[in-house]
Amino acid sequence: MKIFFTLLILSGLCLARNYSPTTHAVAEKSQLKTGAEQTDKYVPYLKGKRVAILANLTTIIGRRHLVDSLKTLGVNIVKVFGPEHGFRGNASAGTAVADEIDVSTGIPVVSLYGKKNKPTKEDLSDVDIIIYDLQDVGCRFYTNINALSRLMEACYENGKELLILDRPNPNGYLVDGPILDMKFKSGIGMFPIPMSHGLTVGEFAQMANGEGWLTNKVKCNLRIIKVANYNHDMSYDLPVSPSPNLNTQQAVMLYPSTCLFEGTYLNHGRGTYFPFTVIGSPELKGKYTFSFTPTSIKGMAETPLFMNEVCYGLDLRKYDVDLLRKKKQINLEWMMELYSASPYKEKFFDSKLSKEMGVIERLVGSALFRQQIIDGKSEKEIRKSWEPGLSEYKVMRKKYLLYP
């Protein structure tokens, strides 16, 4: 009976290639219900209202897209807003997305990743309430929370209520990193929070309201459907890849640590089918035996760093992520090790993924980190420089938590 139960849960969860939940996570997930799954708590409230929704491929109930499910339940969805990669997730990374009519439902889809990044007054003129339901991964530089903040501002400006269908944060256990120095504010960091913020999107929305982070310190009218039977220490394997380059659970768990390599002259798996789980460069030949070769992959990385060149470095695909969970810290050792191994240290932080300099500063959120690595500072010394900001954030965060 136990085996049958486990297989039943696995069949409902393993929707994305390479996702293999552990028995422990499956047991927890069997009790957990996302906000979207609790239709009895919000569908009656939506009846008689004209509904818009910001959605992507992670906006699901079971195996079915939420938009399709809500239409079946008689909800009047008049408009869909599409983020990066589009509403159905069929647009390439970083590619502007055009408005369209969804072929499955006939609903107009308004792109917020093209000519504009938030709904206009005209977009919302025939809308009574807006739903936000995007899976997040808990990092400052994962930009779903930026889209959420702009949607909150649009709701305030147009007198609309925002309904957030909350989802677990797979890195919810992790609150770590320096608080963003706002002089490095950018599209990959807009708020004074650490690199890994330890919030669900519902909790972040409450924090943005409460701390006055929206433009002109406005406050959005929020209604949040909480995740049932969830806590921040719970392991949670995502049923669908949240974006093309986070296509395995391993990548999602390593992302708070390995995304920092976007600010270096190293390839971190872009141009492979296992991004964020390998790191290397041609210049490390002879230093490491593991190798990989980035190629052009449509929809993932069409012109990756060191394309068609053999890169040597670290293979983290089988790294035990439970070690991260036990330490509750971002891994800095990989950055320190690869800098030490690099034969051309003067260009280590000259990222070729951006035309602008200072990518590492915008990712980490601190002016100190680059020089700390160059100077060979210890991890203890680096972490000390994150205080007292990180500890103060942890205290402030408690005011907005919806879950233990």
Per-residue pLDDT of 73-99, as tens digits, reads 999 999 999 887 777 766 555 567 778
Which residues, listed in sequence order, are joined to residue 243 by a DSSP beta bridge? 246
Same domain, 166 and 262: no
Please write the tens of the pLDDT for every residue from 340-373: 999 999 999 987 644 445 799 999 999 999 999 9
Identify the three-state secondary structure at position 193. coil
Taking the C-alpha atoms of residue 322 and residue 107, their distance in angstroms, rounded to an integer, is 43
Tell me, yes or no, whether 100 and 210 share the same domain: yes
Both 86 and 153 in one domain: the answer is: yes
pLDDT recorded at residue 94 = 59
Of 142-146, 326-330, 381-385, the one with minimum mean pLDDT is: 142-146
CB 263 within 8 A of CB 364: yes
Question: Do 86 and 218 belong to one domain?
Answer: yes
Domain's final residue, options 332, 348, 365: 365
Name the phi and psi angles at 315, rounded to 5. -110, 110
Q: How far apart are CA 145 and CA 193, in angstroms?
A: 12
Q: How many CA atoms lie within 13 A of 368 on its CB side?
A: 15
Regarding whether 157 and 277 lie in a shared domain, the answer is: no
Q: The domain containing residue 37 runs over which residues?
A: 32-225
pLDDT attached to residue 215 = 97
What is the pTM (predicted TM-score) of this model? 0.90
Q: Are residues 257 and 208 in the same domain?
A: no
Q: Are residues 72 and 113 in the same domain?
A: yes
Residue 215 lies in a domain: yes
Range 114-128 average pLDDT: 94
| Total domain count, the chain | 2
Q: What is the mean pLDDT of residues 56-85?
A: 93
| 57 is a domain residue | yes
**What is the domain-level CATH number for residue 102?**
3.40.50.12170
